[in-house]
Amino acid sequence: MRSISLFFRSVTKSLILVSFLAVAAVSSASAQDVAAGGAIFKQKCTACHAVGKVVVGPDLKGVTERREEAWLLKWIKNAPALIASGDPVAKEVEAFSPAAMSAFPELSDDDVKNILAYVKAEETKPAADPKAAGGASAEGGSGEISNFMIFGLIAVIIIAFIVIVVLNRVIRTLERVMLQKQGVLVEDDEVVPGDRLAGLKRLTKNKKFILFVVLLLVIFLGSAGWMGMWETGVHTGYQPVQPIKFSHQLHAGVNKIDCQYCHTGAFTSKNASIPSLNVCMNCHNYVTASDKYDGKTSPEIQKIYHALDYNETTKQYGNNTKPVEWIRIHNLPDLAYFNHSQHVSVAGIECQKCHGPIQTMEEVYQYSPLTMKWCVNCHKETEVNHKDNPYYDRLIAAHDKLKKGEKVTAAVLGGLECSKCHY
């Protein structure tokens, strides 16, 4: 079933692609390179423009009809100069938004033409959209079905198995009842199992064997209990399902966004802080991942819009807001005080030291045990980052006198004392 749907999906996809390419090839009379234009468009234009939608700048749909190509060439390459020259059309366009169009002197005329070709090609794309959307929904549906099918099958097999077992037992009992009624079977039942379990019975009377078993059990349960108790309250690997499928792998790994861009508090405060949604909107204002969702905004990004009651056309936040309730992964008990800025800014510790390879995590899990032993061990090993920080001068001077040659760890500076964390 699954493979069939996959097959269908790939077929529709390739069909769409082929038809799209054909249309594009036909429509681009000037035979400009749509693909090259697309690449530039994505690199330089998507921040403010889209085809068929107003982003920061105006909707580019039909722009080649609205404006002359010569004017467009001038405008795209150096809009501020065109406005300054007093061009009436430029003035009119400038009035569209307070955000000014940047100059792109690095673009050649061909590049601009390629972009325009791409825009033109994009205009015709919506015609193929319904099919694409259908394909997407079919895909989603097939995924659900296949999962349901697998679990359903397993359930059916289990139920069938149970039915068979129960029926078997019922049949056996009925047979026995019939036999008993007929007076055929009386002692058989007792004798047969007795014979079978005779060896076991003898074993249960063997004291050495029992001692051995008990000892084994005690050792096994004891060690399991001991290990279990050490792990009590330790949630390494805790990976709850979050309300938004935010991927650190994509943001921190692929896009290499600096941790501090979102977790602003890490440098200055005790809390690293989960970014407020307006920080997300700095990018997701225009980054909608629509290319992966056939022109529509990604459903995960839509969750941000929904939470903020953000209107994509007017670009305004509404009043019907619903805060995002993230599940907290790193739960340090209240009795311990932890300050991010001390570790990140002062000590200069990488986020990964405690949070693990966060840049590869599709979904975040707790990497470190967050136990006191773990804290203490690190404080015993980590050298204090005292270079260029006059705060430490006096301490270091004192310790240099005392312990020549030894390394100055956090523990040496009192990092193991109770009131460093508990107050």
Partner 1 sequence: MESNKKYWKGLEELQNTKDFVEKNKNEFAESLPMEEVLNEAGLSTVTPRRDFLKALGFGLGAVTLAACQKTPVHKSIPYLVKPEEIVPGIPNYYTSTFNGHSILVKTREGRPIKIEGNPNCILSKGALDAKGQASVLDLYDVSKLKGPVLNDADTSWEKIDQFVKTELSKTGGKSIRIVSSTVNSPSTKAVIADFIAKYPSAKHVQVDAVSYTGIIKANEASFGKAVLPRYRFDNADVIVSFGADFLGSWISPIEFNTQYASKRNAAALKGGKMSRHIQFETGMSLTGTNADARIPLKPSEEGIALLNLYAALGGAVSGGKKLPNQKAETGVMLAAKELAAAKGRSLVVSGSNDIATQTVVNAINSLLGNYGTTVDLDNPSYQYTGNDADFVTLVSEMNSGSVGAVFFLNSNPAYEYADPKAFTDALAKVALRVSFADRKDETASLCQVIAPNHHYLESWGDSNPVEGYYTIAQPTINPVYNTRNAEQGLLIWSDNAVQDYYQYIQNNWSKAGLTQGATGWKDLLQKGSVTMTAKGGGAYSSAGNVAAAVSAIVAESNALAKGGDNAVELHIYESTGIGNGKLANNPWLQELPDAVSKVTWDNYAAIGPKYAEKLGIGENDMVTVKTDKYEVTLPVLIQPGQASGTVSIAVGYGRTMAGKAAVEVGKNAYPFLRLVNGTLQGNAAATISKAGGIYELAQTQTHHSIEGRNIVRETTLKDYLKDPNHGTGHGHVNHVDLWNEYEMPGHNWVMAIDLNACTGCGACIVACNAENNIPVVGRDEVRKRREMHWLRIDRYYTVNDNGSKVTKEDEMEDMETMDNVSVIHQPMLCQHCDHAPCETVCPVLATVHSSEGLNQMAYNRCIGTRYCANNCPYKVRRFNWFNYWNDSRFDNYMNNEFTQLVLNPDVSTRSRGVMEKCSMCVQRIQAGKLQAKLDKRTLKDGDIKVACQQTCPTNAIIFGDGNDPNSEVAKALKSERTYYVLEEINTKPGVGYQTKVRNTAEV
Per the CB < 8 A criterion, the answer to whether 392 and 386 are in contact is yes
Q: CB of residue 278 vs partner 1: minimum separation in angstroms?
A: 4
Site string for partner 1, 356-375 (x = CB under 8 A): --------------------
Q: CB of residue 139 vs partner 1: minimum separation in angstroms?
A: 32
Contact with partner 1 (CB under 8 A) among 119, 259, 324, 370:
324
Nearest residue (CB) to partner 1, 293 versus 317: 317
Instruction: Point out which span in 3-11, 67-75, 215-223, 395-403 binds partner 1 (CB under 8 A).
Output: 395-403
β 316-317/310-311 pair status: antiparallel
Residue 256 CA, chain-centre distance (Å), reads: 14
Query: Site residues for partner 1, window 204-243 (CB under 8 A)?
Result: 233, 235, 240
Residue 20 binds partner 1, judged by CB under 8 A: no
The token pair that represents 219 in the structure block: 């050792």
Nearest residue (CB) to partner 1, 313 versus 419: 419
CA angle 384, 387, 390 (to 5 degrees): 100
Contact with partner 1 (CB under 8 A) among 218, 337, 348, 407:
337
Contact with partner 1 (CB under 8 A) among 27, 188, 326, 357:
326
Distance CA 44, CA 57 (A): 13
Look up residue 288 and give its amino acid: T
Nearest residue (CB) to partner 1, 67 versus 235: 235
Residue 7 binds partner 1, judged by CB under 8 A: no
Contact with partner 1 (CB under 8 A) among 124, 146, 297, 341:
341
Contact with partner 1 (CB under 8 A) among 3, 186, 388, 404:
388
Nearest residue (CB) to partner 1, 88 versus 333: 333
Q: Which residue has the tokens 């015609």?
A: 127
Q: CB of residue 351 vs partner 1: minimum separation in angstroms?
A: 17
**CA neighbours closer than 13 Å in the CB half-sphere of residue 209:** 8
Query: What is the total residue count of the chain?
Result: 423
Distance CA 56, CA 48 (A): 5
The token pair that represents 12 in the structure block: 């529709």
Instruction: Point out which span in 49-57, 114-122, 168-176, 413-421 binds partner 1 (CB under 8 A).
Output: 413-421
Distance CA 403, CA 410 (A): 15
Task: Render 1-35 in DSSP notation, one character per residue.
Answer: -HHHHHHHHHHHHHHHHHHHHHHHHHH-TT---HH
Q: CB of residue 399 vs partner 1: minimum separation in angstroms?
A: 6
Contact with partner 1 (CB under 8 A) among 179, 346, 349, 361:
346
Per the CB < 8 A criterion, the answer to whether 136 and 290 are in contact is no
Q: CB of residue 390 vs partner 1: minimum separation in angstroms?
A: 5
The token pair that represents 352 in the structure block: 């990964």
Q: CB of residue 357 vs partner 1: minimum separation in angstroms?
A: 22
Distance CA 257, CA 351 (A): 13
Query: Site residues for partner 1, window 249-288 (CB under 8 A)?
Result: 264-265, 268-271, 273-279
Instruction: Point out which span in 80-88, 217-225, 334-342, 350-358 binds partner 1 (CB under 8 A).
Output: 334-342
Nearest residue (CB) to partner 1, 78 versus 366: 366
Residues 6+ apart with CB under 8 A from 135: 9, 12, 13, 16, 294
Residue 50 — φ and ψ, nearest 5°?
-145, 165
Site string for partner 1, 85-124 (x = CB under 8 A): ----------------------------------------
Instruction: Point out which span in 71-79, 98-106, 353-361, 389-397 binds partner 1 (CB under 8 A).
Output: 389-397
Residue 418 binds partner 1, judged by CB under 8 A: yes
Residue 394 binds partner 1, judged by CB under 8 A: yes
Contacts 24+ apart (CB under 8 A), 356-361: 358/248, 358/252, 358/259, 359/248, 359/249, 359/252, 359/253, 360/248, 360/249, 360/253, 361/247, 361/248, 361/249
Q: For binding to partner 1 (CB under 8 A), which residues are involved?
A: 233, 235, 240, 264-265, 268-271, 273-279, 307-308, 317, 321, 323-328, 331, 333-335, 337, 339-342, 345-346, 388-395, 398-399, 402, 413-414, 417-420, 422-423
